[in-house]
Amino acid sequence: MPFQDISLVLLFISSVSLVVIVGLVVFIGVVVIRLLGLFSEVNTASQAMRRDINKLLHKASSLTEAERRALTHYDAGDEF
The CB-side HSE value for 69 (13 A sphere, CA atoms) comes to 3
Residue 7 has a pLDDT of 87
Rg (CA), the chain: 32
In angstroms, the CA 70 to CA 68 distance is 5
In angstroms, the CA 53 to CA 46 distance is 10
Residue 76 has a pLDDT of 55
pLDDT over 70 (residue 9): yes
80 compared with 67, residue with greater pLDDT: 67
pLDDT digits (tens, 9 = 90+) for 20-65: 999 999 999 999 999 999 999 999 999 999 999 999 998 888 888 8
Residue 42 has a pLDDT of 96
